[in-house]
Amino acid sequence: MKIWVDADACPKAVKEILYRVAERTEISVTLVANSPLRLPDSPFLQLLQVGSGADIADDEIANLCEAGDLIITADIPLAARVVEKGAQALDPRGTVYDKNNIGQVLSMRNFMDELRGSGVETGGPSGFGQKEKFKFANALDKFIAQR
């Protein structure tokens, strides 16, 4: 099992949790990003820097991940792609996407996107705080315990 991170928009607090988890569990964590990132020195952490452009990092993650891997992303279409390959996705806010819920989540995302496209104000996500950080850490621990 590997953990892949859609790193450009991933909150710093989530990355720090992942750095500690990689060391503690010796699970390989690969951060995929368009821009350079500084990672702690660890044999379990890798940076895969890809070219700039929409969905370049997403395409790389979708191509490289395998069944049983965990992908950290807030991107619902990417989550759907990796779940189709047999992986699971975990949102930085702690929501797990798997074969049981990704269809409904993707449909809702597409519906909200259509509303925004027609000019309807749908609002954005709430701020990222301690509650979200703990929910993510708990969901990650649960995933690791089940592997």
Q: H/E/C letters for each residue in 88-138?
A: EEECCCCCEECCCCHHHHHHHHHHHHHHHHCCCCCCCCCCCCHHHHHHHHH
Handedness of CA 93, 97, 100, 104 (dihedral sign): positive
> pTM of the entire structure?
0.86
The β-bridge partners of 72 are 5, 90
Higher pLDDT, 43 or 119: 43
* Average pLDDT, integer, range 9-27: 96
pLDDT exceeds 70 at position 124 = no
Alpha carbon 67 to its chain centroid, in Å, reads: 15
- Full residue range of the structural domain in which residue 19 is found: 2-146
CA–CA separation, 23 and 21 (whole Å)? 5
Two tokens, residue 42: 């660890």
Look up the CATH number of the domain holding residue 124: 3.40.50
Q: How many domains does the chain have?
A: 1
